[in-house]
Amino acid sequence: MTTREWLLTESPSSRMQARLGRSYRVWRALIRNPLAVVGAIIILALVILALFAPFFATHSPYTGQLTQRLLPPSGDYLLGTDELGRDIWSRIVYGARITLVIVLLVGAIAAPLGLFLGAISGYFGGWTDRILMGITDVFLSMPKLILALAFVAALGPGIENAVIAIAITSWPAYARIARAETLTLRNSEFIAAVRLQGASALRVILRHIIPLCTSSVIIRVTLDMAGIILTAAGLGFLGLGAQPPLPEWGAMISRGRSFILDQWWVATMPGFAIVIVSLGFCFLGDGLRDVLDPKSGAKS
């Protein structure tokens, strides 16, 4: 029996084999989707760049030579240099770390928070639902960037505060999704069956409802990553995110703005980085939606 057959068998003989088999099916469906593969490659490239930044960077991201300032792209300076003579390619490579940290932290804070609150709200209904969804609506009705701006203005500029601000503004969408999914699930017979076995509400929510909401939230988070990167870049552009000399992409665009007519590469190169990474997350999110969608998932 080949590994492939072992993974795809209809009658797995252990918990481990069943789990691996399911992951393998998802993986197979994902690599059949060309856009998802492109997205995954972009994200993978971003992760590798961030992890091995010193290896890929050709110069220091922080110190430049003023004699070499505002040079156009060349063999020595792949993407040119900025107004302080720093290599833009090296700064973009190190900036990948900041972008990745922001995206991961926001995802790790906002998604579980939204998922949990939404599931509680949908499962209990009544007053719990009204209060939680009221709070959610308040956050949803405020423009994201403005709210993030207000938070950063109150807490002070910096990456940590930018992350907190973006997380606080992005959880309500996940809470809404999780609540909507929970409402369709909570009266189903398999939930009634678990309740009849004496399961506590917490157990029903954590072990039976949340796993079924997770795939739609994961898809939404992946699609939102582009928005999170743009918000982070927007905060950076306004000088409220990462502070100089950190090579944050939005801040780099902001610095290059003054030279945009004569030295276009200073603002454009980090712009390209943002576009490519955002696109990567969007492609991956679309691919994941095709693979993880609960309605189509039953067939795979």
Nearer to another protein, 52 or 190 (CB): 190
Q: Which of 232, 214, 122, 119 is nearest to 169 (CA)?
A: 232
Distance CA 286, CA 281 (A): 9
Q: How far is the CB of 171 from another protein (least distance, A)?
A: 24
| Rounded (5°) CA angle 100-105-110 | 130
Nearer to another protein, 2 or 13 (CB): 13
Q: How far is the CB of 298 from another protein (least distance, A)?
A: 5
- Peptide bond before residue 245 is cis, with ω within 30 degrees of 0: yes
Does 194 engage in binding with another protein (CB under 8 A)? yes
Residue of 104, 195, 271, 293 that binds another protein (CB under 8 A)? 195
- Which amino acid is it at 16? M
Distance CA 100, CA 90 (A): 16
Does 143 engage in binding with another protein (CB under 8 A)? no
Q: How far is the CB of 189 from another protein (least distance, A)?
A: 4
Taking residues 235 to 274 in sequence order and writing x for each that binds another protein by CB under 8 A, - otherwise, the string is ----------------------------------------
Tell me which stretch binds another protein (CB under 8 A): 17-25, 34-42, 57-65, 164-172. Answer: 17-25
Task: Name 54's Cβ contacts closer than 8 Å, sequence gap at least 6.
Answer: none
Q: How far is the CB of 219 from another protein (least distance, A)?
A: 16
Strands (E) located in the chain: none
Q: How many residues bind another protein (CB under 8 A)?
A: 28
Q: Give the 3-state secondary structure of residue 81.
A: strand
Does 15 engage in binding with another protein (CB under 8 A)? yes
Does 14 engage in binding with another protein (CB under 8 A)? yes
Nearer to another protein, 134 or 198 (CB): 198
Task: Name 287's Cβ contacts closer than 8 Å, sequence gap at least 6.
Answer: 30, 33, 35, 36, 37, 39, 40
Site residues for another protein, window 201-230 (CB under 8 A)?
Answer: 203, 207-208, 211-212
Distance CA 155, CA 153 (A): 6
Taking residues 154 to 193 in sequence order and writing x for each that binds another protein by CB under 8 A, - otherwise, the string is ----------------------------------xxx-xx
Both tokens assigned to 111: 């998604």
Distance CA 49, CA 56 (A): 7
Does 67 engage in binding with another protein (CB under 8 A)? no
- Which amino acid is it at 207? R
Q: Which residues bind another protein (CB under 8 A)?
A: 10-15, 17-18, 22, 188-190, 192-199, 203, 207-208, 211-212, 294, 298-299
